[in-house]
Amino acid sequence: METELSRALGIEHAIFGFTPFPAVAAALTRAGCLGVLGAVRYTDPDDLRRDLDRMDRHTDGRPYGLDVVMPATRAAGMTEADAEAMIPEGHRKYVRDTLARHGVPELADGEPSGWRITGWLEEVARRQLDIAFDHPLALLANALGPPPDDVVARAHDHGVRVAALAGSARHARRHAETGIDIVVAQGYEAGGHTGEIASMVLTPEVVEAVAPLPVLAAGGIGSGEQIAAALALGAQGVWLGSLWLTTTEAELHSRALTAKLLAAGSGDTVRSRALTGKPARQLRTEWTDAWDAPESPGALPMPLQGLLVAEAVSRIQRYEVVPLLGTPVGQIVGRMTSERSVRAVVDDLTRGFERAVDRINRVAGRAER
């Protein structure tokens, strides 16, 4: 499946695969897609440099991308300590009580608190960019709208295309005005941060709003039939994230989480502020239920909520407290029922796409029935 955009980027399939795992991103790129590595988990710049070096070695010179998280509204110069000081004690107590109720042990002294929220802060994202631009990136994506103007300019100086996620036509139009190159239309059904407009409605709205900029459809896509649907809606490609979480190359922090994903149906996700402070679709768990309960103090705004729950999330993962164990994932989780290699999944997508094209041609009377 080839579009103007996929040809311009030199990829075989107009499939953009977002993943926090370098092995998955590299496998996606080798399979003819564009693997996009999520940078939010890299709090140590050296770790990011190491993994991008690894991407370079394992992608056979084919293009790949990086996804950073720079909030559109920025508290310039705010440090993690500044943010920590803004968290009310009542919220800290609610986290402690919820963990205690589920018997979640403390981390041992010196045990790293795993995933931290620091990647949300602009200073961290900027350090990541210094490293990223030393590598042959094809795409820089920002999960929270367009990056700052100087970052867009710097990307363009390096020949890197810039993509920004949008959950509404209004946001997409605003993004387009900043000089970015690609808009990712993120539908309600997507994993992670989403708005309320479903892909079926959002994709064509965004396509129309930002034309002639190319649009990638995100949300609800996990089969070749769904790719065909997204392209029929005017997208120049698709942006898939959830689907790779259960590939054999993915290394989730817990096998119990992989099992939960494989067992979950499309109705087992929830759009919740519990993880970051903004509505993000994720597995519904007793943790998200606790934040939706009547006694919940309510989630704090980004980035405070992420800082508030970072240690708790580490403990839940470290001790595999199954009822609380979750991850951002879209409604497409219902289709993720077996562990397969990235290559096998991509083959399945391209075959399903061809089947859907056959089908649509039959309906249109353009082929033998």
Least separation, in Å, of the C-beta of 224 and a copy of itself?
A: 9
Matching residue, tokens 């919940």: 296
Rounded to the nearest whole angstrom, what is the least distance from the CB of residue 332 to a copy of itself in the complex? 6
Closest CA relative to residue 137, chosen from 164, 165, 161, 163: 161
From candidates 132, 230, 261, 325, binder to a copy of itself by CB under 8 A = 230
Alpha-carbon gap, residue 222 to 227, rounded angstroms: 8
Nearer to a copy of itself, 17 or 22 (CB): 17
Interface residue with a copy of itself, options 68, 124, 176, 197 (CB under 8 A): 197
Query: Binding of a copy of itself at residue 238 (CB under 8 A)?
Result: no
Please pick, from the candidates 75, 153, 211, 363, the single residue that binds a copy of itself as defined by CB under 8 A: 363
CB of 88 to a copy of itself, least distance (A): 20
Give the sign of the dihedral formed by CA 253, CA 257, CA 262, CA 267.
Answer: negative
- Under the criterion CB under 8 A, does residue 188 sit at the interface with a copy of itself? yes
Mark 291-330 with x for binding to a copy of itself (rule: CB under 8 A) and - for no binding: ---------------------------------------x
The residue within the footprint of a copy of itself, chosen from 64, 287, 291, 353 (CB under 8 A), is: 353
Q: Does 351 bind a copy of itself (CB under 8 A)?
A: no
| Binding flag, residue 205, a copy of itself (CB under 8 A) | yes
| 196 φ, ψ (degrees, to nearest 5) | -110, 0
Q: Is residue 194 within 8 Å of 271, Cβ to Cβ? A: yes
Question: Could you say whether residue 45 binds a copy of itself (CB under 8 A)?
Answer: no
Q: Which two tokens stand for residue 35?
A: 């693997």
> Please, what is the minimum distance in Å from the beta carbon of residue 21 to a copy of itself?
24
For position 354 contacting a copy of itself by CB under 8 A, the verdict is yes
Our finding on whether 214 is near a copy of itself (CB under 8 A) is no
Look up residue 307 and give its two tokens.
Answer: 């800082």
Amino acid, single-letter form, for residue 33: C
Determine the Cα–Cα distance for residues 315 and 300; give it in Å rounded to an integer. 20
Per CB under 8 A, the segment of 106-114, 119-127, 193-201, 309-317 that binds a copy of itself is 193-201
Q: How far is the CB of 60 from a copy of itself (least distance, A)?
A: 23
CA gap 269, 313 in Å, rounded = 18
How far is the C-alpha of 75 from the C-alpha of 168, rounded, in Å? 24
Buried b / exposed e across 99-135, counting CB within 10 Å, b at 16+?
beebebeeeeeeeeebbbbbbbbbebbebbbebbbeb
Cα angle at 45 between 41 and 47, to 5 degrees? 65
Residues that bind a copy of itself (CB under 8 A): 1-3, 14, 168-169, 187-189, 195-202, 204-205, 219-221, 223, 225-226, 228-234, 265-267, 330-332, 334-335, 353-354, 356-357, 359-361, 363-366
